[in-house]
C-alpha cells in the first residue's frame, strides 16, 4: 500500500492497515505522545484500531514537545 507519511511516500506491505499497525511498522517511538491526522482530519487515539487506511491516504504524525517556562 502506498501512503504519504509526513510528506514522504511510504510503501507498507499488506492490504489491511490500521493506524496501530502503521505506528508499529514505522517504529514510532512513544506513540502515546503522537497525534495523527489522516487526510487532514485528526483521529482520536481511541479510534486508532478502527481507522483503516486506503491507498494514497495522507498521514501526518504530530509530536508534542514541552518546554519553556
Chain segment 9-55, per-residue pLDDT in tens: 999 988 889 999 999 999 998 888 899 999 999 999 999 999 999 99
**Residue 20 DSSP label:** H
Whole-number pLDDT of residue 8: 96
Cα gap 47→43, rounded to integer Å: 6
pTM for the complete prediction?
0.86
Whole-number pLDDT of residue 31: 84
Cα separations (Å) of 50 from 8, 20, 28, 45, 61?
A: 24, 9, 19, 10, 17
Whole-number pLDDT of residue 14: 82
Whole-number pLDDT of residue 7: 96
- Among 3.40.1170.60, 3.30.70.20, 3.10.20.30, 3.30.70.141, what is the CATH number of 2-63? 3.10.20.30
Q: How many CB atoms neighbour CB 60 within 10 A?
A: 16
Whole-number pLDDT of residue 27: 93
Amino acid at each position: 500500500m502506498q501512503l504519504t507519511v509526513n510528506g514522504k511516500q511510504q510503501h507498507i506491505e499488506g492490504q489491511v492497515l490500521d493506524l496501530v499497525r502503521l505506528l508499529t511498522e514505522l517504529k514510532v517511538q512513544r506513540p502515546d505522545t503522537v497525534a495523527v491526522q489522516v487526510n487532514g482530519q485528526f483521529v482520536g487515539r481511541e479510534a486508532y484500531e478502527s481507522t483503516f487506511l486506503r491507498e494514497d491516504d495522507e498521514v501526518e504524525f504530530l509530536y508534542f514537545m514541552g518546554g519553556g517556562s
